[in-house]
A and B are shown apart, each in its own frame.
Chain A
Amino acid sequence: MNATEHPLAAAYLDSVAREAAALPPERRAELLADLREHIEVSGAGSDEEVRAVLNRLGDARTVAASALAEEPAARRAPDGGRGRVRLTLGLLASAGLLVLLHPLLGTVALFAGLALLWNSPLWTTRQKLTGTVTAVAPPLVLVVGGLLGAASRIGPLELLAVIALSAGVPFAGATALRRAARP
């Protein structure tokens, strides 16, 4: 087995990619290729060996910071993409409620948020999937519920539950993503 496919190595490379989000893309790709090659050439096989190789490489944040330090200041992303993160999470968190108020606007916000999420290097694929599910599930439940005719016998309690679901689940998902993304 190729050592870079080892789950520990894959997780390490993922977190370097996240920590190095503010690097110019070609520089980040080069750093990851160098580290991948290092892990591969080291020939580590067992958990123990892979762990030792990763330990010697040093923690992901330190490695990414040293790459950022080699960059002239002007070339770095101005705020590490923080504004973009805020926009992504804001769209995802509010899309559920927005769909209730204005289906078209809500759908646009939802897709814009998802596009930003999937194009960002700040999260792992698994985190992106979780974020997508929490953002998409409530509107989907609403649509399915509507098709099944549940809307015709909706009472104030059900309406409250629907609002709580549409606001709460995407918000919780966005909060989890905010914690997972390191600025």
Chain B
Amino acid sequence: MNEAGGRVPSQLRKGVLEYCVLALLRDGPKYGVELLGELAAVSVMTTSQGTIYPLLSRLRREGLVDTRLRESPSGPPRRYYTLTAGGRAALGEFAGVWPLFRDAVDHFLNHPQGDPV
């Protein structure tokens, strides 16, 4: 089993993967294959690309992303995912909380006694 397939990365991914997806859409729409390729480039983020589609489907139902079918210069039409205003707000909220969260985890890992940093 590779490093991305263990229990710890899989547990951690559950909470943060959707925000990584939202972050990837921050600078403009992307189609599925493109989005999944960029996620997979960071090995710890995904093991099976196919599992991202159910996540995207939920984000769409929650109104955080929107989809639009666009013709492609080569090949079949592609479904593009766009960040909605709601998605941008959720990403902003996560971006605000994440540093505190990361620092808190680092704090416990580096100072197991709970001493103030």
Contact = CB atoms under 8 A, between A and B. Distances in A.
Contacts of A16: 50
A56 B46 CA distance: 10
Chain B interface mostly: helix
A62 B51 contact: yes
Chain A interface mostly: helix
Chain B interface extent, by class: 20 to 34
Nearest to B54: A67
B50 A63 contact: yes
Contacts of A63: 48, 50-51, 53-54
Interface residues of A, number: 23
Contact of B53 (A38, A40, A43): A38
Given A27-B57, A34-B57, A70-B58, A41 B76 contact: yes
B32 to A, nearest CB: 5
Contact of B54 (A37, A43, A70): A70
Contacts of B48: 56-59, 62-63, 66
A59 B47 CA distance: 10
A110 interface: no
Interface in A127-147: none
B76 A40 contact: yes
B79 interface: yes
Contacts of B54: 31, 63, 66-67, 69-70
Nearest to B69: A37
Interface in B83-109: none
A38 B56 CA distance: 13
A34 B53 contact: yes
B43 interface: no
Given A57-B49, A63-B48, 4 more contacts: A16-B50, A37-B78, A38-B53, A41-B76
Interface of B: 31-33, 36, 40, 47-51, 53-58, 72, 75-76, 78-79
Interface of A: 2, 16, 27, 30-31, 34-35, 37-38, 40-43, 56-59, 62-63, 66-67, 69-70
